[in-house]
Amino acid sequence: VSFIPGGLDCSISFVSHVLGKVCVHGRQKEILGVLVPRLTDLTKSDCIWQRICWRLVECVPDRWMEAVVLGFVQRAPRADVLSRLLGNLVVKNKKAQFVMTQKILLLQYGHTTAVLQNLLGYLSLDSLRRTLLLRVLQELLETWGSSSAVKHSPPEQQLYISKAILICLSHLKEPEIESCRQELLTSMMEGVKCHLDSSLPQLRCLGMVVAESISSKINIEGPVLKFQYEEDDETRELKSLLVQTPPFCVVPSLPDDDKSEKADAALPLVPESNEKSHTAAPVMPDEESDAELDSDDDLIPYDMSEDKELKIKAPVYIRDCIEVLTGSGDVDKWEATVKALESLVRKNPAATREVSVELAKILLHLEEKTCVEGFVELRQRAQVAVLTMDPIPVGKYLTSQFYSVNYSLRQRMDILDVLVLAAQELSCPKFHGKTKHSGAQKPCIQLLPGGDSSKDWRRIVDERIKSKTRRFDTGQSHVELASGPNKFNSVAGHFFFPLIHHFDRPLTTFDLLGEDHLVLGRLVHTLAILMYLAVNTMAVTAMGKALLEFVWALRFHTDSYVRQGLLSCISSVLLSVPAEWILADMTEELLETQSWLGDVVEKDPDGDCRRLALQNLLLMENLKKKLEAVPS
Amino acid sequence: MALPPPDPQFVLRGTGAAVHTLHFSCGSPEPDIPVLFSGSENGFIHVWNLKTHRVDTALDGHGRKSVYCVETIGGKDRLLSQGRDQRICLWDLAEGRTSVTDSVFTEHVGFCRCSLLEVAQGRWLMAMAARSLEEVQILELPSKTSVCTLKPEVGAKLGMPMCLKLWQLNCGSQPVLLAGYEDGSVVLWNVTMGKALSQLVCHQEPVMSLDFDSEKAKGISGSSEKVLSIWSLNEQQNLQVYKTHELVNAGISDITIRPDKKILATAGWDHRIRIFGWKKLKPLAVLDYHTATVHCVSFSDHRNLHKRLLAAGSKDQRISVWSIYAQT
């Protein structure tokens, strides 16, 4: 390869053919591993070599072009190197253009960020190619903003496209942004709507980060879109893509200067602090007063021992609490009542039982009157306390309200959370009051227990599979607790069946099977947890059967969060219902479910779903083995 | 053994609404009756006879909107009142009359009390919050001509003016204004030139009330937080923090220093009136009578020092009158 004397006319096409053939046979790494660094060096300053390189690539026949181009893009250390090596190939050759602007970006998603940087940087470096850059951005935004893409494509692909969009944005210059400002704005609005609609927090985050970035690019002087979300590695990485760092080559060529300018423009203007010149002067020392004649001495102070902090007393009786909460009186008293309610309820079970449904109703509709810290948690704990003190009537009330008109989504999800927390408490009596399971600190956060249900489930399922009595600190270990009756036993059915009853009946404001798929997802996860907690109760078999039928009806739902919930339901059934009963009562459902699980493992686009399905299949296998091992 | 705090000497009832402002007029010699003016939330100004402890007259001039400032202008026959109907009214009360002689339409929708200063015989300067958010307007009374408008610099973000105090070092020197703002800072303005001389950030919360002792060049301000801030003015007309005092409960509505500059009283949101010595801010007494927020405190201007009184008006519609440290 390292031939060539200057000045000779030689035909490059033979070399191109060789290169193409080798690449298409999968040997890109070897040949390009040698070729690319060599060419990089040679083309650094030598124009002739550049032209030779361009000829080389241009002459590769179309059927091998993809492999070659892909190889180059992957191997080139930086975008400017790629530009030197390929020249304007993307403009001249149709196949190369297709590969670079469509295939790599939209149809594949396994490439690294570096590849994206190379590719998009390459497109931005030459004026001829910049039109392609704009077109690419438009197509990327179209895909990003299409609701069907958000719903059906895997999260990894969406992450890839988001990265590509951000890199494109970082390369755009001011006049170009000007020209397509309106389109950017419209696509951003549509896209952000689809993303926020999704049930997966990762996708929502992606949507928010990209929308913020687009907004900051098109609105440098005005107010910028700002979302609230948790910063994690992924979001930080995405945001770092918006700012192009100039590559550390010794000779700063023109394209690099452009990039660093863009970096400056992209950073938001820091608001000036108002009080920069007016800081308080240091406190003057008190020494003077000692020297002065203290004529204050003849003023004798009175007794001030009664002067204490003003405390508003909370009511001591539950009926008083009800009065305060429903009245429109003293806000201080209201605040004190809200804070004291949970402990009062727990200390007076008999009194609570008299007014339990009324209290539950008040709490469900209670809204924040003043700014109480932790209001949502206080309310939830009070609701859980009321539910545990008097499970059956309050449970009936809450489950019926779940399917009533005129409640907000937040209230319906609150009902589900409260039912789960109370169920947990009832089934593990010593663990009430632990705050680690109250996941409702902020309104938009995940499900209990402990946040990410799929991780917990995997852990629990693995534990059960290996049949070790390892203790884990979610408090689910029934084994070593001091014995007390499982109060959940008598009420499990009361929590479970009403929730499952009306899911297919749409109301005017609430359609589980329609738009409110977020609530459906939460409902399904709730049912899974209730099922899991119902282990060893009398109703467990009936519950299991009903749950399997429910899962069967919903198994093709398009929302991946719902599907994950359905798979958790199956895990719960397999874990909670005793093996003999499963076999006796639910054989057909099991077989049907098994074939569906096989399907999910192969074809479901969501990675978590596939994992859960695999675990379920594993559980079923173990179940079979266990049953076969027992001599019948 | 410290004595328990005294009880009020008497309590005035009958305003029918929360009391927002008080002003004594007891300086005239006998046979003139000492009088206390009170402004309430129902828009009435009550003139209390301090001998009979009953209302002599009730003035209705603010369209039933809350009155939050009353002051006398040169004797108890001329009264100035400020209400939430965005007006400042001047009353003529001589010989039993109860008429509004003049009024100023301030267009101010906040709660900032105006401040009066007599600069010459029959001529007064009045500082009041104006229509525009951050401005303070100085008017001359009785002509009602505008002397100047004090505007903070652009971008200063002081917020609304919350409390004002006009003063001058002695007759003939330049009048100066101290203004406490919503962002917690106190600004010293030169009225004649219309510009700010010094600004000091005293509090994190809005300054609710302030008072100033021109002899000692020391002032005190209270806010909705737990801290009282005492600051001083040095020769270069710069404000500096002198001391802070932490209270037991947060929230001060009013602060006033007694005319003899020996003690000061604060009206608290915790229903209590606190008395401090002014020299070192030594806590002297906590007067716990009211059952709701105390909105205002005022010292009387009795010539006879033994008769001096302190009055406090509260949201519980009562005015408590105390005789405390009157002997010193």
Tell me how far apart the alpha carbons of residues A64 and A200 are, in angstroms, rounded to a whole number.
40
Touching A: B residues 1-20, CB under 8 Å: 2-6
User: B11 to chain A nearest CA, in Å?
Assistant: 21
Q: Which residue did the predictor score with more confidence, A516 or B139?
A: B139
ipTM of the complex: 0.73
- Which token pair is A546? 């009903």
Could you give all domains of chain B from N- to C-terminal order, each with its CATH number?
Answer: 17-105 (2.40.10.480)
Predicted pLDDT at A4 = 47
* Cα–Cα distances in angstroms (integers) from residue A381 to residues A364, A384, A416, A508, in the given order: 12, 5, 13, 30
Query: Residue A281: pLDDT above 70?
Result: no
With a pLDDT cut of 70, the percent of chain A lying above it is 79
Predicted pLDDT at A285 = 37
Instruction: Say if B277 is an interface residue toward chain A (CB within 8 Å).
Output: yes
A contact test, residue of B207, B248, B291, B322 with most A CBs within 10 A: B248
For residue B243, list chain A residues with Cβ-Cβ distance below 8 A: 283, 286
Tell me how far apart the alpha carbons of residues B199 and B183 are, in angstroms, rounded to a whole number.
12
Query: Residue A110: pLDDT above 50?
Result: yes
**8 Å CB contact of A280 and B283:** no
Instruction: Say if B243 is an interface residue toward chain A (CB within 8 Å).
Output: yes
Return the closest-CA partner of residue A14 out of A70, A75, A55.
A55
User: A293 to chain B nearest CA, in Å?
Assistant: 10
Predicted pLDDT at A632 = 52
The residue-averaged pLDDT of A320-331 equals 83
Q: Of the candidates B3, B280, B288, which has its C-beta nearest A289's C-beta?
A: B280
Predicted pLDDT at B43 = 92
Predicted pLDDT at B42 = 93
What residues contact residue A624 under an 8 Å CB cut-off, 6+ apart? none
Query: Residue A352: pLDDT above 80?
Result: yes
Q: Of the candidates B232, B272, B279, which has its C-beta nearest A296's C-beta?
A: B279
Output the average pLDDT for chain A.
Answer: 74
Tell me how far apart the alpha carbons of residues B312 and B287 are, in angstroms, rounded to a whole number.
10
For residue B156, list chain A residues with Cβ-Cβ distance below 8 A: 274
Q: What confidence category does residue B228 fall into, taking pLDDT thresholds of 50, 70 and 90?
A: very high
With a pLDDT cut of 70, the percent of chain B lying above it is 99
Instruction: Say if A287 is an interface residue toward chain B (CB within 8 Å).
Output: no
Query: Residue A261: pLDDT above 50?
Result: no
Instruction: Say if A289 is an interface residue toward chain B (CB within 8 Å).
Output: yes
Instruction: Say if B233 is an interface residue toward chain A (CB within 8 Å).
Output: no
Range(s) for CATH 1.25.10 in chain A?
486-631
Query: Residue B296: pLDDT above 90?
Result: yes
Tell me how far apart the alpha carbons of residues A38 and A52 are, in angstroms, rounded to a whole number.
13
What residues contact residue A258 under an 8 Å CB cut-off, 6+ apart? A173
Instruction: Say if A307 is an interface residue toward chain B (CB within 8 Å).
Output: yes
Instruction: Say if A588 is an interface residue toward chain B (CB within 8 Å).
Output: no
Q: What confidence category does residue A245 fall into, taking pLDDT thresholds of 50, 70 and 90?
A: low
Tell me how far apart the alpha carbons of residues B150 and B179 are, in angstroms, rounded to a whole number.
10
For residue A295, list chain B residues with Cβ-Cβ distance below 8 A: 262, 279
Predicted pLDDT at A475 = 43
**Which SS3 state, helix, strand or coil, does residue B81 take?**
strand
What residues contact residue A337 under an 8 Å CB cut-off, 6+ apart? A314, A315, A321, A324, A325
Closest-CA residue of B relative to A330 is: B292
Q: What confidence category does residue A11 fall into, taking pLDDT thresholds of 50, 70 and 90?
A: low
Predicted pLDDT at A62 = 80
Reported as a single tens digit per residue, the pLDDT across B41-77 is 999 999 999 999 999 999 998 989 999 999 998 877 8
**8 Å CB contact of A307 and B248:** yes
Closest-CA residue of A relative to B230 is: A283
A contact test, residue of B228, B238, B249 with most A CBs within 10 A: B249
Predicted pLDDT at A115 = 82
A contact test, residue of B201, B202, B207, B238 with most A CBs within 10 A: B201
Predicted pLDDT at A263 = 39
Query: Residue A461: pLDDT above 80?
Result: no
**8 Å CB contact of A295 and B279:** yes
Predicted pLDDT at B186 = 92
For residue B201, list chain A residues with Cβ-Cβ distance below 8 A: 275, 278-280
Instruction: Say if A291 is an interface residue toward chain B (CB within 8 Å).
Output: no
The H-assigned helical ranges of A62-172 are 62-75, 79-86, 89-92, 94-97, 113-124, 127-145, 147-152, 155-171
Predicted pLDDT at A259 = 42
Return the closest-CA partner of residue A32 out of A18, A45, A43, A44.
A18
Instruction: Say if B187 is an interface residue toward chain A (CB within 8 Å).
Output: no
Closest-CA residue of B relative to A307 is: B286
- Which token pair is A455? 């991780």
CATH number listed for the domain at residues A486-631 = 1.25.10
Predicted pLDDT at A272 = 34
**8 Å CB contact of A299 and B6:** no
Q: Are A366 and A324 in contact (CB under 8 A)?
A: no
Query: Residue B82: pLDDT above 90?
Result: yes
Predicted pLDDT at A280 = 35
Instruction: Say if A281 is an interface residue toward chain B (CB within 8 Å).
Output: yes
The residue-averaged pLDDT of B186-215 equals 90
**8 Å CB contact of B241 and A295:** no
Reported as a single tens digit per residue, the pLDDT across A68-89 is 888 888 888 887 778 877 777 7
Stretch among A1-15, A259-273, B253-267 having the lowest mean pLDDT: A259-273
**8 Å CB contact of A304 and B2:** yes
Q: Of the candidates A283, A296, A303, which has its C-beta nearest B5's C-beta?
A: A303
Overall pTM > 0.80: no
Reported as a single tens digit per residue, the pLDDT across B149-194 is 888 888 788 888 999 999 988 877 888 999 999 999 999 998 888 8
Instruction: Say if A302 is an interface residue toward chain B (CB within 8 Å).
Output: yes
Query: Residue A275: pLDDT above 80?
Result: no
Q: Which residue did the predictor score with more confidence, A42 or A116?
A: A116
User: A301 to chain B nearest CA, in Å?
Assistant: 4
- Which token pair is A294? 């203290």
**8 Å CB contact of B202 and A280:** yes
Tell me how far apart the alpha carbons of residues A496 and A396 are, in angstroms, rounded to a whole number.
10
Residues in chain A: 632
Query: Residue A192: pLDDT above 60?
Result: yes
Instruction: Say if B62 is an interface residue toward chain A (CB within 8 Å).
Output: no
Q: Which residue did the predictor score with more confidence, B40 or A126?
A: B40
Give φ, ψ of B178 to 5 degrees: -105, 125
Query: Residue A282: pLDDT above 70?
Result: no
Q: For chain A, state the CA radius of gyration.
A: 33
Instruction: Say if A280 is an interface residue toward chain B (CB within 8 Å).
Output: yes
* Cα–Cα distances in angstroms (integers) from residue A621 to residues A342, A626, A630, in the given order: 45, 9, 14
Instruction: Say if A293 is an interface residue toward chain B (CB within 8 Å).
Output: no
For residue A294, list chain B residues with Cβ-Cβ distance below 8 A: 279-280
**8 Å CB contact of A304 and B155:** no
